[in-house]
Structure 1
Amino acid sequence: MIKACIFDLDGTLTRTQASIARPINMTLKYYGLPEQPVEKFNYFAGDGIKNALERALIASGDAGASHLEDGLPMCRKWMDEDPLYQVEPYPHVVDSLHELKRRGIKLAVFSNKPHNSAINVVETIFGKGIFDHVQGQTDRIPIKPDPTGVFEILGIFGVKKSEALYFGDTNTDMMTGHNAGLFTVGVTWGFRPRKELEDYHADMIIDSAADFPAVVDKVNKSVFQ
C-alpha cells in the first residue's frame, strides 16, 4: 500500500513564478540588462536558482552568462530577503494534503530551492504540522533530477520505493521520480504543459490537486490488489 507521497514545491504545491522572477530580475537590472516577463520563468525555473539565473541572463542578452558567478550571490541574497513574494498554494492543495494526512500517509516536499528557503515557504504557507519532512538543496543533497533527496526521504520515513508516490510539474520532476524508481505523477497546473509530462513518461497525469487522494486509491487498487 502507498504509505508516503513526495511533492515538488514550485509549480506543484505553490504558485511561485513571481517569487523566482523577483530576485533574478533584480540581478538583471543591476547589470543593466532587460528584466524578463514573469511567464518566462515557467521555463527558466525548475532546476535550481543557478540554472534559472543563467537562462535569464542569456535571454536578456548576456549570451555567455558572464555575470552568472558574480550575480548568483546577490540573487540568492535577494531571494532570501523575500522568498514568499506573491507565493500562494494552488487550488485544492491544502484540502487534499489534509485528506492524505488524515489517512495516515507520510507527506514530504523535495525542492530545488535552497533548503532553508524551502522550509520557510512550506511552513509559512502550510504550517509546521502538515509535512513530515521538507528537503531542499544542500551541499549533501544535489538538485533534481538527482534522486538522492528522494532516497533521503524514503530512509527517514522507513518506506520502500513501491510504497511511495512522487508528484511534480516539469521534465526534471518526471526524471527525478523515475530515477528514484517511484510511480511518478505529473500535474498540469504548474510550470510546464501536459506534452512535456507525456514526453518524459509520467506514469499518471492529473489536472487538479483535488485528485491527490484519488491517485493513491488508483495506485493501491491497480498495484496492490
Structure 2
Amino acid sequence: MKAVIFDLDGTLIDSAPDIHAAANAVLQGEGLPLVSFEQSRSFVGRGARIFVERMERAVTGENEPARTDHLHARFLHFYERAHENTRIYPGVVEVLEDLRAEGFALGLCTNKPMRPTRAVLAHLDWDRLFDVVIGGDSLAVAKPDPAPLIAVVDGLGLTLPQITYIGDSETDAETAQRAGARFGLFTEGYRHTAPEDMYHQFRFDDYNLLTEYLKDPAA
C-alpha cells in the first residue's frame, strides 16, 4: 500500500459548527427560519448544492430552482470564510506527518467545493501535505460516484489496490464500495448508520490506531 486518501469534513476535521453558522447566516440574511445544529449536521455529506437543497426544503417545505441558486451562491460566500470553529480531530496532525515521513503519498477526496477546501487547507497549513486534492466540484459528478476517488488515485499515479480510502460517512463507504477500494471507517464523524452495517475493511475511533490498521493487510 503506497498511499492513503482521506475525506475531509467529518474525517480529518469537524467543521459542522462552521457549516451551521454559514447556513444560518444565509437564512437570516434572507429572512428565513434558522436551522438547528443537528439539522445542519444531518445535511452534510453530499456536497454544498445538496446541503443547500436540504436546508431550503427544511425551512420552506420545497425547493424553488431560482431561490436554490441564490441560496447556494450565498452559502458559498460564507462557507469559504468559515474556519473559526472548525477543529482537527485528535491525533490527525501526527498521523498525517508520520505517514508523509514514512513515504506514503496522501490524497484528499471530498465533496466540499474546491474553493472552501483550498481555504481551509491554507488556514490549517495543510497545503503541503496532500499530493492530489479533488473537491465536490472538480468533476461533473461527486461522491458517491466513484469517479472522484478514482481521479485522486490516477493523479497519484497509482492503482486502486495500492491505496486505502479513509472516510466517515455512508457517502464515503458507498464511494469506496463502488470503486472496489479498501476502506477504513472513522466512526466519530457524520454517519447516520451503525458502523457494522456499512461497507468497510476496518473501522477506528482513535487516530492513534490508524497506522497499525494501514500496515495490516488483513484488516
Do they fold alike, i.e. is TM over 0.5?
A: yes
Instruction: Map 1:60-209 onto structure 2 (within 5 A).
Output: 60=59, 62-66=60-64, 67-80=67-80, 82-138=81-137, 140-193=139-192, 195=194, 197-209=195-207
Aligned partners of 1:124, 1:133: CA distance in 2, in Å?
A: 18
Structure 1 contact 167–186 (Cα < 8 Å) conserved: yes
Residue 28 of structure 2 corresponds to 29
- TM-score of the superposed pair, with normalisation by structure 1: 0.89
What is the Cα deviation at residue 168 of structure 1? 0.7
Q: Which contiguous aligned blocks of 4+ residues in structure 1 show a shift greater than 6 angstroms? A: none
CA deviations over 1:105-139 (Å, ceiling 9, x no partner):
11111111111221221232143322212221235
Structure 1 contact 14–88 (Cα < 8 Å) conserved: yes
CA deviations over 1:60-108 (Å, ceiling 9, x no partner):
2x1112332231111112222x132311211000001111111111111
- Quickly say closer, same or farther: Cα 1:122–1:206, change in 2 above 3 A: same
Aligned partners of 2:192, 2:91: CA distance in 1, in Å?
A: 20
Report percent identity of matched pairs.
27
RMSD between aligned residues: 1.8
Aligned partners of 1:184, 1:145: CA distance in 2, in Å?
A: 13
SS in 1 for 2:174: helix
Residue 48 of structure 1 corresponds to 47
SS in 2 for 1:137: coil
Structure 2 contact 111–137 (Cα < 8 Å) conserved: no
Residue identity in the other structure for 2:38: E
- TM-score of the superposed pair, with normalisation by structure 2: 0.91
- Quickly say closer, same or farther: Cα 1:51–1:37, change in 2 above 3 A: same
Aligned partners of 1:3, 1:123: CA distance in 2, in Å?
A: 25
SS in 2 for 1:134: strand
State yes or no: 1:3 paired with 2:2: yes
SS in 2 for 1:108: strand
Residue identity in the other structure for 2:77: K
Aligned partners of 1:3, 1:88: CA distance in 2, in Å?
A: 28
Aligned partners of 2:104, 2:138: CA distance in 1, in Å?
A: 29
Aligned partners of 1:29, 1:15: CA distance in 2, in Å?
A: 23
Aligned length: 217
Structure 1 contact 108–133 (Cα < 8 Å) conserved: yes
Gaps of 5+ in 1: none
